[in-house]
Amino acid sequence: MLIVTLKSNREAKIINGYPNVFRDEVKSVEGDKEEGCICNVFSDDYQFLGKGFYSHSAVAVRMLTNHDEEINEEFFTKRLKMAKKRREKIFKDSYRLIHGEADLLPGVIADKYGDFVALQIRNRGMENRKDMLVNAIAKVVRPRGIYERSDFQTTVSDILTKNVGLLYGEMPPDILFVEEHRLKYKVDIKKGQKTGFFFDQRDSRAFVRKITPQDALALDAYSYTGGFALNMKKAGAKKVIALDKDRDAIELGRMNAMINGLDNIEFIETRYEDYLSTYKGPPFDIIVLDPPSIIKRKEEQKKGLRIFQDIIALARVHLKDGGILGLCSCAYAIDLNLLINALKRAYDKSGKTLQVLGITYQSQDHPWVLSIPESLYLKCIWVKVS
């Protein structure tokens, strides 16, 4: 068994539940250093801290447990049962089933779409034990099929292959349906972004329905398959414009509007910046800005602040006095304070008051853990500008 010993006084965060041991925190490594192998982790004074996956990357160990237990199919089955139990009383049919470290399964994302599960694996340790994980999901969830979507962009240091395909049971159909807040969405779990649907914005979609003015002209600037657009129309908006540069997402958005009987939603395949820089129409009553992840590291926060300022500044020109602006970030490295600062700077010397209507975070099927700051990644701030 590989043994990893930490430097002096580096054990507290691991004892408190933080899952990552960084390379510069390691004093010594004894044994065969195979990527993704199980290792025992000890403090500098030989206190056993737990077991994890060893890696040659900047994250030397991804902790699995603080106990001396076997990492086998039974281990994964217990974790799956815990994750399912947390969610099944809150969510009916479709939801995030496993949320990585927050569910004590680092590097695993699993979304349940009715009778099917989409699985994404993000480290070699889990990839090496994929069969155990799949068997555990099959045993606990009993889906008709499990489909792998490990085709995300990854760092070279993780040495991961991009795997897509059926892992268990039946091949899922090309299109599945998700129902949320009395709206239906077509989802493509084989080709859609991430695993096909962004469950994490569930609470934000519900909130935007509450604050959308009647007969509003609304803009969903990064619409994907129309989550915010549909909810603003359902709330009583007169017309909604939904923008996305992904042609397949735009087509699904149009289908989603049609199957929900919602008209006057115009889906346009374009970049947000290109559209608004030439827009000549009337100002919007509400604009939702939910761009893809802009930065990956805390060290890039200045860059992130600058980009968000530019995004907001463009929206500001086309927002009606008294209009509502929603600003979201799905990047852990961009915290709520950065979003607030971006809003302040974009509206500096404008004479406008920004009244906060609410702040929304990722939904409950994407739990966050106090000892794992990275597990809280999604935040949206909603302001009235007058």
Asked whether residue 252 falls in the same domain as residue 108, the answer is: no
Report pLDDT digits (tens) over 146-189: 999 998 765 444 567 789 999 999 999 999 999 999 999 999 99
**pLDDT surpassing 50 at residue 262:** yes
Predicted local distance difference test score (pLDDT) of residue 261: 98
Decide if 181 is inside a domain. Answer: no
Asked whether residue 23 falls in the same domain as residue 90, the answer is: no
Asked whether residue 37 falls in the same domain as residue 149, the answer is: no
Asked whether residue 57 falls in the same domain as residue 114, the answer is: no
What's the total number of domains in the chain? 3
Residue 37 annotated to the active site: no
Asked whether residue 85 falls in the same domain as residue 127, the answer is: yes
Nearest to 39 by CA among 59, 20, 54, 24: 54
Predicted local distance difference test score (pLDDT) of residue 156: 44
Which residue range(s) make up the domain with 52?
2-65
Mean pLDDT of 258-268: 98
Strands 2-6 and 38-42: parallel
Predicted local distance difference test score (pLDDT) of residue 158: 52
| Domain containing residue 377: CATH number | 3.40.50.150
Asked whether residue 151 falls in the same domain as residue 198, the answer is: no
Q: How many CB atoms lie within 10 A of CB 236?
A: 13
Q: What is the mean pLDDT of the chain?
A: 95
**Residue 1 exposed, middle or buried by CB count within 10 Å (0-12, 13-18, 19+):** exposed
Asked whether residue 143 falls in the same domain as residue 38, the answer is: no
Decide if 36 is inside a domain. Answer: yes
Domain boundary among 45, 65, 85: 65
CA distance 56 to 40: 15
* Confidence at 142, pLDDT banded by 50, 70, 90: very high
* Phi-psi group of 74: left, alpha or beta (phi > 0 → left; psi -120 to 50 → alpha; rest → beta): alpha
* CA atoms in the 13 A half-sphere facing the CB of 79: 28
Alpha-carbon 374 to chain mean position: 11
pTM value is 0.94
Mean pLDDT of 48-72: 97
Asked whether residue 12 falls in the same domain as residue 106, the answer is: no
Asked whether residue 255 falls in the same domain as residue 319, the answer is: yes
Strands 48-54 and 38-42: antiparallel
C-alpha torsion 239→243→246→252, nearest 10: -10
Domain boundary among 43, 65, 87: 65
Nearest to 344 by CA among 298, 309, 301: 309
Predicted local distance difference test score (pLDDT) of residue 43: 98
Asked whether residue 110 falls in the same domain as residue 204, the answer is: no
Decide if 7 is inside a domain. Answer: yes
Report pLDDT digits (tens) over 367-378: 999 999 999 999
- Rg of the chain taking only CA atoms, in angstroms: 22
Of 20-29, 144-153, 180-189, 207-216, which range is least confident?
144-153
Decide if 295 is inside a domain. Answer: yes
The angle at the Cα of 377, spanning 374 to 381, to the nearest 5 degrees, equals 145
**pLDDT surpassing 60 at residue 130:** yes
DSSP secondary-structure letter at 369? B
| Domain containing residue 43: CATH number | 2.30.130.10
Is 253 in contact with 232 (CB distance < 8 Å)?
A: no
CA distance 342 to 335: 11
Nearest to 43 by CA among 8, 82, 89: 8
The amino acid present at 244, given as its one-letter code, is: D
Predicted local distance difference test score (pLDDT) of residue 155: 47
DSSP sequence for 97-113: EEEGGGGT-TTEEEEEE
Predicted local distance difference test score (pLDDT) of residue 153: 65
- What are the start-end ranges of the H helices in the chain? 12-15, 73-88, 124-128, 130-141, 202-211, 227-234, 247-259, 272-277, 301-317, 336-346
Report pLDDT digits (tens) over 265-321: 999 999 999 999 999 999 999 999 999 988 888 888 999 999 999 999 999 999 999
Mean pLDDT of 222-244: 98
**pLDDT surpassing 70 at residue 45:** yes
Asked whether residue 83 falls in the same domain as residue 211, the answer is: no
Domain boundary among 172, 205, 235: 172
Q: What tokens appear for 92 in the block?
A: 């009916």
Mean pLDDT of 353-378: 97
CA distance 110 to 119: 4
Largest CA distance in the chain: 68
Asked whether residue 255 falls in the same domain as residue 369, the answer is: yes
Report pLDDT digits (tens) over 98-121: 999 999 999 999 999 999 999 999
CA distance 94 to 92: 6
Predicted local distance difference test score (pLDDT) of residue 186: 96
Residues written for the chain:
386
Report pLDDT digits (tens) over 182-201: 999 999 999 998 899 999 99
Write down the catalytic residue from 37, 39, 328, 330.
Answer: 330
Decide if 183 is inside a domain. Answer: no
| Domain containing residue 125: CATH number | 3.30.750.80
